[in-house]
Amino acid sequence: MVVRKVKEFIIEKLILICGIASIFFVLLIFLFLAKEGLAVFKIVSPSSFLGGKSWYPISEPPQLGILPLILGSAIVTLGAAVISVPIGVGCAIYIAEIAPLKIKEVLKAGIELLAAIPSVVLGFIGMVTLVPMVKNVFHLPTGLTALSGSIMLAFMAMPTIVSIAEDALYSVPKTYKEGAFALGATHWQTIWRVMLPAASSGILAAVMLGIGRVIGETMAVMMITGNSAVIPQSILVPVRTLTATIAAEMGEAVVGSEHYFALFAIGIVLFVISFAINVTADLFLHKRQ
């Protein structure tokens, strides 16, 4: 009996430790990013790091301004949001409200399929199909542009947007819909005037999480946006995002160099952005419940 009690005591403590492991890992990630990244602020001030217009990390002395990278991420993300939000929310409405049961299952499987495709495969497909298409349609010297990145990333954001927005629409109480129908509203009027407003906080969370996915996406964006770290003047030029900069340059950066610290500092920026997005989206999702 005593042995069993001791054994159970140990197991239950182990379960508790694993339970709080997630908190531990989040702190650990932040700690190690900070440990390596904050060192860069001995060389540049935070304002000239975030607002500096030139990124030449290996020139002498290195110029470590990430404004071109922030703007690169911003333009690609904005483009992806403009494409993916209406299409994604539209698809969620179609699946949740209109599609017959059998088609609904097929569509949901298709969306899951898209979510499962590795980003490097999407990047590869983008390189061989989308990039030449963009080049020819807009008569550009290269198809590796922010626009190509936006289109590809829009696809990667859609599974997130569709599935969370669809959940939000499902969780609207059935009585709302019945009430609207009883007053003589058409199905579309019910969706537009009753369902969408009722599900709005969940849909907002869906959009935010989709955008979070876009900002954090690395491989596909590195393969098709052309990797040019200058301030973008339009959506039809090559850009370089925050994520792509880390992925492309860390391999060459010497551990402990200014360049290495600066790339970790970019990691902190990304971590803080994704943290803010996820916490806010979580608040919206809980408000609904």
Find the binding residues for other proteins in span 163-222 (CB under 8 A): 186-189, 191-192, 209, 212, 215-219
Rounded to a whole number of angstroms, the minimum distance from the CB of residue 68 to other proteins is 18
One of 6, 58, 82, 109 touching other proteins (CB under 8 A): 109
Contacts of 50-55 with CB under 8 Å at 24 or more apart are: 50/269, 53/231, 55/229, 55/240, 55/245
Distance CA 49, CA 70 (A): 11
- By the rule CB under 8 A, 19 interacts with other proteins: yes
- By the rule CB under 8 A, 101 interacts with other proteins: no
Instruction: Kindly tell me which of 124 and 176 has the beta carbon lying closer to other proteins.
Output: 124
| Mask for 215-254, x = binds other proteins (CB under 8 A) | xxxxx---x-------------------x--xx--xx---
- By the rule CB under 8 A, 255 interacts with other proteins: yes
Question: Please, are residues 77 and 211 in contact by the beta-carbon 8 Å criterion?
Answer: yes
Which listed range, 26-34, 63-71, 172-180, 196-204, lies at the site for other proteins (CB under 8 A)? 26-34
Cα torsion 199, 204, 207, 210: sign: negative
One of 64, 71, 91, 153 touching other proteins (CB under 8 A): 91
Alpha-carbon separation of residue 241 from 53, 72, 125 (angstroms): 14, 5, 20
Distance CA 191, CA 181 (A): 10
Instruction: Kindly tell me which of 5 and 139 has the beta carbon lying closer to other proteins.
Output: 5
Which listed range, 3-11, 52-60, 134-142, 231-239, lies at the site for other proteins (CB under 8 A)? 3-11
- By the rule CB under 8 A, 29 interacts with other proteins: yes
- By the rule CB under 8 A, 3 interacts with other proteins: no
Which listed range, 40-48, 133-141, 170-178, 272-280, lies at the site for other proteins (CB under 8 A)? 272-280
Tracing tokens 């403009």 back to the chain, one arrives at: 82
- By the rule CB under 8 A, 271 interacts with other proteins: yes
- By the rule CB under 8 A, 162 interacts with other proteins: yes
Rounded to a whole number of angstroms, the minimum distance from the CB of residue 164 to other proteins is 12
Q: Which ranges constitute the DSSP H helices of the chain?
A: 2-19, 21-37, 46-51, 67-93, 101-116, 119-125, 131-137, 146-170, 174-182, 187-190, 196-198, 200-216, 219-224, 242-249, 258-288
One of 22, 47, 175, 289 touching other proteins (CB under 8 A): 22
Rounded to a whole number of angstroms, the minimum distance from the CB of residue 107 to other proteins is 6
Measured from the Cβ of residue 2, the count of other Cβ atoms closer than 10 Å reads 6
Q: Could you tell me how far CA 213 lies from the centroid of its own chain?
A: 1
> And the tokens for 85?
């939000």
Rounded to a whole number of angstroms, the minimum distance from the CB of residue 157 to other proteins is 11
Distance between start and end Cα atoms, the chain: 44
**By CB under 8 A, what part of segment 61-90 binds other proteins?**
86-88, 90
- By the rule CB under 8 A, 270 interacts with other proteins: yes
Instruction: Name 78's Cβ contacts closer than 8 Å, sequence gap at least 6.
Output: 150
- By the rule CB under 8 A, 41 interacts with other proteins: no
